[in-house]
Amino acid sequence: MKMIQAIIKPFKLDDVKEALKSVGVTGMTVSEVKAAVISRFPLPMKNNNKAIENLKSTAIFNMAQDKIMKIQVKEGRMLTMNEQMNIHRKYKTLINEILKKSGKVMKMSELKSAVKARLTPSPKYNSSNK
């Protein structure tokens, strides 16, 4: 099984589906993503909070979708809606905790690294390694 991720324009979706069907692809997950703009210039305060919330939502969605895709490819099956929602909830809680603890706005790469560090189990201390 292979995982393919593509960003296509909505009006091309039917053509892509037909082309994939013709080569034997039977299932796919399609998500609609709204545009997010990252500005280098400071935004007025009322818009700044909204921009941060949009970026946080995008981060949660992207990281959760990556995890869902990896599980589906590894297990060779589609996850149920409840399984997918549980993964989204887990990432939302985790990202909110990280941002609250850091107390600052983080770059997407910093946030991904922090999430990865939190999800990676720490090595257990083994008393026989003295």
How confident is residue 10, by pLDDT bands cut at 50, 70 and 90? confident
Task: Give 36's contacts (C-beta < 8 A, 6+ positions apart).
Answer: 54, 55, 58
pTM, two decimals, is 0.54
Segment 24-52, tens digit of pLDDT: 887 888 877 665 545 444 545 455 667 66
pLDDT for 98 equals 85
Q: Do 106 and 100 form a contact (C-beta atoms < 8 A)?
A: no
For the chain, the average pLDDT equals: 76
